[in-house]
Amino acid sequence: MSDKGATPDERMARIAARQYGVVSIRQLDAVGLDRDAVSYRRRVGRLHRIYRGVYVVGHAGISREGRWMAAVLACGAGKLDKGGAILACWGAAVSHRSAAELWDLLPPGDGPVHILIPGDGGRKQRAGLRLHRSHSLLPAAVTSHKGIPVSTPARTISDLQRSASAKSSTCQISPRELRRAIRQAEILGLPLGPQHAGDRSRSDLERLFLRLCRQHRLPAPEVNVRVGPFLVDFLWRDRRVVVETDGYRYHRGRIAFEDDHDRDLRLRSMGYGVLRVSDRQLAHGPEQVMAILRAELGRQAA
């Protein structure tokens, strides 16, 4: 929609709609609202300050995504077009624990927003923010997710690893949380770089399993579908049979062990037979795996 003929408030609202309800003072200036106009809108409740130079439009409520975007706007220079929209904002990015939450690697928390900025000066710590300065922050280490500048999954995990091993850190993370974040990144298929390369990928396992099903003339399953709250690898819906193909890197450790067993129990309580097959079993004993699966499909059909 063109901004031609729109009032400054309409233009402000359109920018806020693209940024989870938040705008920066530079964007307000770009749409024609000077300091006095901003002050007036704060007094009448149209703008609510969240950080210095960053405001929520219309109401004081703000989502997690809005808080992350507001933190980036508060710390990053960015480039704006003539209408005030952000062209680039590589001066700051959500990082560390906050980035892990944004990528859905860790559950949301109540702590400060962690922001990564280049260099070693120029910005002071602010209430509600934790700034991490980096001389090695390259454009390749920053991307956009859900429209918010954020460190890449690989950089996020590396930052969390450094925080977990540091004796004192502004980003507190336990070894268990770090393991959970890495495991979730692998499950989601996020790129973590060669330092985390491991066993056969999930997609390779799925292709191998489907090929074996065809070779042994078993009915074709549904792939990566939901059963209740769970996303399962393979499902024979009419037989109520689920198969999970487990690569070591996706299911190693006590956390994975507990999560997998809880998941299996809940699926069985819903009436599904559950088989777990490892990549090693598929590679070295496929005939036995297919025979067990054939028997399970027959039993459930009966």
- Which pLDDT does position 105 carry in this prediction? 94
- Which pLDDT does position 135 carry in this prediction? 73
| Range ranked top by mean pLDDT from 38-42, 115-119, 277-281 | 38-42
- Which pLDDT does position 59 carry in this prediction? 82
Surface-to-core class of residue 34, CB atoms within 10 Å of its CB (0-12 exposed, 13-18 middle, 19+ buried): exposed
Q: Give 220-242 pLDDT, tens digit per residue.
A: 899 888 888 888 889 999 999 99
Number of helices followed by number of strands (H, E) in the chain: 11, 14
- Which pLDDT does position 73 carry in this prediction? 92
Do 22 and 69 contact (CB within 8 A), yes or no? Answer: yes
Evaluated on CA atoms 48, 49, 54, 56, the torsion sign reads negative
Q: Is the pLDDT of residue 1 over 60?
A: no
Q: Is the pLDDT of residue 10 over 90?
A: yes
β-pairing verdict for 54-57 and 47-51: antiparallel
What structural domains and CATH numbers belong to the chain?
A: 8-86 (no CATH), 93-196 (no CATH), 202-301 (3.40.960.10)
> Lowest-confidence range among 93-102, 202-211, 222-231, 264-273?
202-211
Alpha helices in 44-81 (DSSP H): 64-75
Mean pLDDT, the chain, rounded, equals 83
Residues 151, 254: Cα–Cα separation, whole Å: 28
| Tokens 């090693």 belong to residue | 280
- Which pLDDT does position 252 carry in this prediction? 45
Residues 286, 294: Cα–Cα separation, whole Å: 12
More confident residue, 48 or 195: 48
- Which pLDDT does position 202 carry in this prediction? 53
CA distances from 42 to 205, 228, 248, 263 (A): 56, 46, 55, 50
| Range ranked top by mean pLDDT from 167-171, 180-184, 256-260 | 180-184
Mean pLDDT, range 137-145, rounded to an integer: 84
- Which pLDDT does position 19 carry in this prediction? 93
3 state SS of 54: strand
The phi and psi torsions of 270 (rounded to 5 degrees) equal: -90, 0
CA distances from 141 to 103, 158, 294 (A): 14, 11, 47
Q: Is the pLDDT of residue 89 over 60?
A: no
More confident residue, 48 or 77: 48
Q: Is the pLDDT of residue 121 over 70?
A: no
| Tokens 């990566």 belong to residue | 224
Q: Is the pLDDT of residue 170 over 70?
A: no
Mean pLDDT, range 139-151, rounded to an integer: 90
